[in-house]
Copies of this chain bind each other. A is one copy, B any other.
């Protein structure tokens, strides 16, 4: 096949990341880059790329077939729709929109124009997520009743557009969009209720952290949490099944699985813990449990782009679909509604 002509809009942190990734894909030709900032246009030129002087110039470039948007969140909708109307296929950075209404307009534009429209849910290729998905899919721990997914940092919300409400800032939209997408990919069931609280430790305008509890229809309880004032991190992933537990401590994939090997030897001898005695919380002896390393998984985030190219050719189905995008959006809206009202939101998502 001939190469797909690709253009990037927004040459900031993630823009550089996209250029770096697509540069390594033999089926993509980088036609050029547009950024509103003249300094970044100059940087693109110095690196040997065509720098479009305006969005219109890029839209008028008939050769460009695929555009990635790595601009502040509030600009995704107008630019994505303009690109699709100009005949381009579109990958948007996340969160794709600030509301389900906006997202619907983008999906409508995709259907009207017949152009591909997807969102860069790159964290579906995170190895930590894929390990948890493997444990779940292969029923390694027995019936899973609880999954906890946390991302903790200690730098507050970065002092750029990310702390502005009008630019779609805040952690529900920023990290939540990935972690909720992962959770929905992990657990193939409807969410039936959502309870969420947000934090404003370093920032009043947008949430600088949140803790959401999703109840799935079989009762599985999922916690999704982001913190930006956490100087000590809790584990990235924690999963509880009927016969064992798994933990992934960090991005380095440190972690383990502990499985019960003898359920019968359950009746515990009470032990002293601090100023009290406990039978319930007596630690297990080694003879009734067994510890295993986490399974290994292979992952290449460029498979996201490979799938986009194959979808354009009609050879594969789009991996990050419109219904999935809408589901994550509706879930984020439910989180915000729950946090604002301090009520559990009963819904089916």
In angstroms, Cα B277 to Cα A251, docked, is 12
What 0/1 pattern do residues 121 to 154 of A give for CB contact below 8 A with B? Answer: 0111111110000000000000001100001111
Q: Verify if A247 is at the interface (C-beta below 8 Å from B).
A: yes
Contact of A280 among B129, B228, B231 (CB under 8 A): B228
A contacts with B: majority SS: mixed
The residues of B that contact A260 with a CB separation of less than 8 Å are: 154, 231
Number of copies of chain A assembled together = 2
| A270-302 interface (Cβ within 8 A of B) | 270, 273-284, 289, 299, 301
Contact of A274 among B128, B171, B175, B279 (CB under 8 A): B128
The reply to whether A275 and B342 form a contact with Cβ atoms under 8 Å apart is no
Q: Verify if A11 is at the interface (C-beta below 8 Å from B).
A: no
The reply to whether B174 and A280 form a contact with Cβ atoms under 8 Å apart is yes
> How many residues of A are in contact with the other chain, CB < 8 A?
80
The reply to whether A145 and B201 form a contact with Cβ atoms under 8 Å apart is yes
The reply to whether A122 and B275 form a contact with Cβ atoms under 8 Å apart is yes
In angstroms, Cα B274 to Cα A343, docked, is 34
Most buried by B among A128, A171, A178, A276: A276
The residues of B that contact A13 with a CB separation of less than 8 Å are: 270, 277, 279
In angstroms, Cα B235 to Cα A234, docked, is 8
**Can you identify 14 A-B contacts, CB atoms within 8 angstroms?**
A122-B275, A123-B276, A125-B275, A129-B274, A145-B229, A146-B199, A153-B281, A155-B267, A155-B268, A197-B215, A215-B342, A227-B240, A228-B281, A344-B344
Q: Report which A residues bind B (CB closer than 8 A).
A: 13-14, 17, 122-129, 145-146, 151-159, 162, 171, 174-175, 178, 193, 195, 197, 199, 201, 211, 213, 215, 221, 223, 227-232, 234-235, 238, 240, 242, 244-247, 251, 256, 258-260, 266-268, 270, 273-284, 289, 299, 301, 342-344, 346
